Every structure is written in C-alpha cells, then in structure tokens.
Structure 1
Amino acid sequence: MELFKNTNFDFLGWKWHFIIASLVLTVAGLVSLVGRGGPKYGIDFKGGTLMTVRFAGKPPIDEIRSAVSKRVGGSGEVTVQNFESTSNEVAIGTELTDERQLDLNRRTIIQTLQATFGQPSSGKLDFNNSGHETLVSRLRDPLARAGVALSEPQLQKLVVDMLNFRDTPPRSGLITSFDQLSSVPGVTPAVINTLKQECYTAPFSVRRVEMVGPKVGADLRQRAIWATLAALGGMLVYIAFRFEWIYGVAAVVAVFHDTIITIGFFSLFDKEITLTVIAALLTLVGYSMNDTIVIFDRIRENLKLSRREPLEQLINRSVNQTLSRTVMTSGLTFLTVLALFLFGGAVLHGFSFALVVGIIIGTYSSVFIASPIVLFWHDWFDKRKRSAAVAAPARASTGKESAGKGSMRAMK
C-alpha cells in the first residue's frame, strides 16, 4: 500500500534547518542536565521503597503525601502517584541513601497509613492488611470462646478461604464489610461476629512492596548504560558489515542523537528515568535504526542502478520512495504511544513520553541526520580523490622538468 506516489520532495534541501534544530535541542538538553546535576533517576536507580496501595474510594493523594513526608521525608524524597485518573491504586515511593533503612521505611509507611486512615487505637487487627499466621493467631481463642468449634486444620483452612476471597477480583485485597465474607464456606454468623469484635476493615490495602538498595540501584544504572552502548555497538558492526562503515557510523550517530535529545527532554520537563524508560529507549534505538536501514537499503539499490546520478539527488529519490512506508509505520506507532501517553496513567507516563518524543526525533533523524552524514562523507571523499588526481599529473610534470634541467646541465 502506497500513500504517496511519485513524490519529489527536496528533503536534503532542508537538512541544515533540521541539523540546527537538533543542535539547539541537544545543547538545551545538555545544559539542563548539567544544571540539574545529571538525570533525575527513579527509585529503580537511586534505591528506595515503592509500595502499591489500593483504597476503597478515591485516594487522597495530598493527604497521603503529607502524612508520609512527615514520617520519612527526612531520609529522602517522597512521591505519590495515581496509576490512572480513575484508579483507586497509588504508588508511594521513598528515596533511600542507606541500605539499613529499607525495611524501616516499609514499616514506617504502613504504620503511617494505619495511623492516618485506620483504627490503631481500637486495639483491633486490620483484616485487609493481615497475613495468614497473624489472623490465625488472633482468631483462635476468640472463636473458641464464641463456641465455634474448629480443629487447627479447620481453622487454617477457614482463614485461607477468607483471605482468598479477600484477594480475588473484584475485591483485590480490600473488603469494606465483614458481611461480604458470608458467602465463604464455613463462615457462619458467629464467625462474622467474632471478626467484627477482633478486627476492622481499613479503607486501604497494601498490594505490593518493592525495595531496591542504593548499591543495587547503582548497579542497575550502570547495566542500563552498558546495555544501551552494547546495542549501539552491535548495530554499528552489523551495518558496517552489511553496507559500508560510513553507513554504520551515520546510523549510530543518528540513534545516539535520538537518545541524547530524548534524555534531554526528560531533564527539561523534570521527569524521572526508570527501568521502564530504559526499556523505551532501547525500543527507540531498535525502531529508529530499522527506519534508517530501510532508507540506506534503498540508497544502495539505487546506487547500483544509477551510478552517474548525483548522490544528493539519488538520496532524495530514495527517501521519497520510502516515504509511504515511513509515514505508515511511524504514524501508526506514534498514534499508539500517544494514546498510551494520554490515557495510560502515571505509571506508564515515563515509558510513553520517551516513545512519543523518540519516534518524532527518530523519524526525522533517519532522513535529516543519517542521510546527510553519508552525503557529507561521499562529497568529502570525492573532493579528496579529485584533488589527488589533479596533484598527480602536476607532480609528474614537475619531475620531468627537473630531469630535463639536470640533463642540460650534464651536457654543458
């Protein structure tokens, strides 16, 4: 399918406009990075605690941030983010500088949430945030006093069934009333009354806790850098082998340009770089490289067919011939990641932002950065060959004149 037929746009005629725009964006990004002391790394790379918490209603973001910051704010930055605008789940993150604070921060966040939204003064157990053994120990004697005759295996199974009911969708770890448990086998009115006396249902549930130490974060950061450089190096070798070395250099410079500008945008907009952003950058590297290779392959084919055609004209023709493919693949991918950026929620915001910026930059770099590098190299190489060709006869004639003068002196 071709969207455009027989187009004849002078893409390389606009190369300097885009090269200057790239230089401006690169310098702006680098200045921002230097001014901010480097990229703003997420907890994945700095180290810290990331806790996913589900609330019964709309999460009070400001209240959560204020309460947690008062308790753990002194040990680093506290972040609270919605997963989606309509989601009842939030991600609470705390930065760490000391490995020993990992578990302490986890406990502090849970205690802060219980003190702010729970009933810690009642002396009851929080059912929504309790594990199997804690619940069994709490219910064993009260159930016996209430006349609920259960053997130890029966009690264990009863607690397992109640927790399974609590943790399965649509509840997903959060019940709002103990009467909801009446459908669980073995849960009688006496059991429900005992639960009401011994436990309460907090309006939140801790669904997942991730802890990354500062040393592990630094190691992940180093590995991410090496992974990106290894990808660029591997592609340079492949393209140099598949085409010519200058094509490999041009493609890698273009992709490196895409990566630097994208990271610069993260700094300019004060966004965190996390593992998902690194995944997006590696995706961008592969995507941009593929786009560049398609254009280079068409240039190589046309060089075989039209050796006498001026190179700039040939490259323009090659870009025009691949224009439909570029617009279709880049356009459709851009619409997809744009939808992800607009509706994907805060957790995917960094990933989708990297791809939105990267696809725009990567698409034009294949045309206006990689192709001009090949053109500049061939122009420089041809001029050098012509200069050498002109210099060779001149040196030869000079040598002949010197030889003739020597012969005449010898005759004299």
Structure 2
Amino acid sequence: MKLLKLVPDNTNIKFLRLRIPFYVISLLLMAASIGLVVTKGLNLGVDFVGGQMIRATFTQSQSVPVGELRESVGKLGYGEPILQQFGKPNEVSIRMKLPEGSEKNVALANEMTGKITAAIRAEHPDARIDGVDSVSGKVSGELFRTGMLALGLAMAAISLYIWIRFEWQFGVGALFALVHDVTLTIGLFALTQMEFDLNIVAAILTLIGYSLNDTIVVYDRIRENLKKYRRMPVPELLDLSVNETLSRTVVTSLSLLITLLALLILGPNVIFGFTAAITLGIFVGTYSSIYMAAPILIWLKVSSASFVPVETALDRQERLARGEKPEPA
C-alpha cells in the first residue's frame, strides 16, 4: 500500500520570489497590531487588574455544577466569571473583575461580593461560602510586568542560543520571527478584546516554542545546504531548504490544528482564549519560519563562507605542500 504524502518529494515552490511583498504585509500587520494595543488596549483579566475571589463548596454534590453556577453569576451584570476547581471535585473558586469605580469606593466591591454570594446561596442551597479574597491592582500590575518580562527574556535567550549554535545572522532572524509572532497574537487580543490573562501568557510562551522549533528545523537544513551547495545562489538555496522541510512542517501543523480546532468548537469557554492564541500561533509561526526567518538571511549577507571558512593564500600553500589537490573554484 502506497503511503499518503501531503507534500510530494519533487515539490519546488519558489517561496523567496515573493519575499518583499510578504515582508511589507507582515510589517504593516505588526504596525497595526501595535497601534491596536496602544489605542484600544488589552482586556486584562483578574490576574492583571485585580479582583475578588470567592471560594465555595457544594456540600451535597459530588462535583461543582459549573454551567449552572456560571449562569447564576453571569446574569448579575458584573461580567463573565472565571471558575476554577481546586482541591476536591465539589470545591470551586469564582474570580471576578473589580467593578468600575471600586478603587475610589471600596463599597462597590463589597456590594458585588454580597450579591454574588446571595445569588449562589439562593439558587444552590447546598453551597457553602468558604471565604472571599481580594487581589489588589498593585499585585496584579506586578504580575503583568513579570509576565511581559518573561516573554522578553525567553525570546532573548532563544536568540542567543541560535546565535551560538549557528551564526549571529540566524539569531537575528529567529528573534525577528518571534517578535512577529508575538506581536500579531497580542494584536488579535487587542482587536477582539478577548480577555488577556496569565493563561494567554502561557499560550504565547507555547507558540514561541513551536515557532522556534519550526525555525530551527529550517535553519539546520539551510546550514547543511550552505556546506553542500557552495556555488548555489543563496535565494535558490533557501527555497531548496524550505521545500525539503515543507513535508515535516505541513504534517506537524495539520496535526496540531485538528486538535486545536476541535477545542475551539467543542471546548469550554474558559480555555477559548488560550486555544485561540495557540491556533493563531500555529499559522503565524509556520508563516514566519518561511517568509520571515529565511528571507532575512539574504539581507544579512549569509553565504557558504559563514560555515566553511574561506581559504587564505597561506592555507593554500600549506595544502599544496602536503600534496593535496586544489579545491575547484
């Protein structure tokens, strides 16, 4: 039985032919994403802006009635609650953003908490309120800064690793591709105003790892071909390298997308933002490996000499003295 191949062995797509138009489009999308973040801002979640956390136990139930509880709290008009099971299956935490104006008037937060706990007790008689905790805006602001610092340090460390493993041009290319991926993903959240919390930071770190993995596979093949085809023009060599790794890229991306699309359509709302971030990241990560990370090597003057040192006159004399044949020009 003949195996199914999504990408034929003789595939020869001229990716680099359209490198300039795609670079222009990508730079415009990055600028638009930054503009959206500046003008519209991000819809920061409780983790980053502070809020109230109510802990409850459903004493007569084996598990938390998540759907009913979400509906009970959501209809009060304070926004979508974040429900998280902890400890036993019948224990839950309910996180809510602080209502507008609560920074100046603490009574507003207490009023919201009172209405929520009253609604839970009214519709769920077996619910026991175990405690109410407040997350201050100052602590949440520190979490946001720490999360953004983690993203920046991760990208810098990755670029340094690629610099050491390959050449500095490859580190610059990988860093630009990662900045491209992260910027477009954050721009999606600024455009749609989906909640941006610590789960999304985790999703962005995940897509950084995926994009980096895809980029390193392409870069490794480029390095091999630079040593193998020293006389081939760099644009043709980059096209060859991308086409040789295309089958692996397509199979990996499709496998992930099948799972992610199922989660987007059938998964719970609480992980929708996380799943959406990774799904977009699969697309932009694959795209950036081909049209961002590879073409930039041309403008950074990568050549076969980057990995095979050019022979000096002294080296040539010593080699001829040893009786070795001269290398073809």
Gapped runs of 5+ residues in structure 1? Answer: 70-77, 84-88, 132-207, 383-412
- C-alpha distance in structure 1 between counterparts of 2:246 and 2:132, whole Å: 47
What corresponds to 1:267 in structure 2? 190
Cα 1:280–1:56 change in 2 (3 A) is: closer
Contact 2:53/2:93 (<8 A) preserved: no
Aligned equivalents of 1:232, 1:117: Cα separation in 2: 44
| Aligned equivalents of 1:218, 1:56: Cα separation in 2 | 29
Q: Contact 2:55–2:129 (CA<8 Å) still a contact in 1?
A: no
Which residue does the alignment assign to 1:220?
143
Q: Number of residue pairs matched?
A: 285
- Paired residue for 1:366, among 269, 273, 289? 289
Q: Distance between the aligned counterparts of 2:25 and 2:132, measured in 1?
A: 43
| Distance of 2:162 and 2:66 partners within structure 1 | 54
- Is the alpha carbon distance of 1:255 and 1:129 closer, same or farther for their aligned partners in structure 2, counting shifts above 3 Å? same
Query: Normalised by the size of structure 2, how large is the TM-score?
Result: 0.76
TM-score, normalised with respect to structure 1? 0.62
Deviations 1:220-239 (A, max 9, x none): 11111111111111111111
Counterpart contact for 1:59–1:90, Cα < 8 Å: no
Q: 2:234 & 2:275 partners in 1: Cα distance?
A: 37
User: Is the Cα contact below 8 Å between 1:295 and 1:319 reproduced in 2?
Assistant: yes
Q: What letter is aligned with 2:184? A: I
Once the two structures are superposed, the pairs formed by residues 192-341 of structure 1 within 5 Å of their partners are 211-341=134-264
Identity %: 36
Among 273, 292, 316, the alignment partner of 1:350 is: 273
Letter in 2 for 1:40: N
RMSD (Å) for aligned C-alpha atoms: 3.3
2:76 is matched with 67
Q: 1:57 to 1:363 in 2, by over 3 A?
A: closer
Compared CA separation, residues 24 and 209, structure 1 to 2 (3 A): farther
Within the candidate set 22, 40, 44, 1:41 is matched to: 44
Q: After superposition, give the CA deviation of every residue in 1:238-276 in whole Å (9 maximum; x if it has no partner).
A: 111110001000001001110001100111111121000
Cα distance in 2, alignment partners of residues 345 and 60 from structure 1: 12
Greater C-alpha radius of gyration: 1
Shift of 1:93: 1.3
Q: Which residue number in structure 1 is paired with residue 16 of structure 2?
A: 12
Distance 2:225 2:214 in 1: 17
CA distance in 1, matches of 2:67, 2:170: 56
Q: Report Cα offsets for 1:80-116 as digits up to 9, x if no partner.
A: 4689xxxxx99551226649959x84x6445314544
Query: Shift in Å at residue 342 of structure 1?
Result: 1.9
Paired residues for 1:91-170 under 5 Å: 93-95=96-98, 98=103, 101=106, 105=109, 108-109=111-112, 111-113=114-116, 115-116=118-119, 118=121, 127-129=126-128
**Structure 1 ranges of 4+ moved more than 6 A:** none
- Relative to structure 1, is the Cα distance of residues 17 and 41 closer, same or farther in structure 2, using a 3 angstrom cutoff? same
SS in 1 for 2:43: coil
Alignment-mate amino acid for residue 212 of structure 2: M
Name the aligned partner's letter for residue 240 of structure 1: W
In structure 2, do the counterparts of structure 1 residues 228 and 368 end up closer, same or farther at CA, with 3 Å as the change threshold? same
Question: What is residue 32 of structure 1 aligned with on the other side?
Answer: 36
1:79 maps to a residue whose letter is: E
**Distance in 1 of aligned mates of 2:180 and 2:196:** 18
> 5+ residue gaps in structure 2?
57-63, 85-91, 306-329
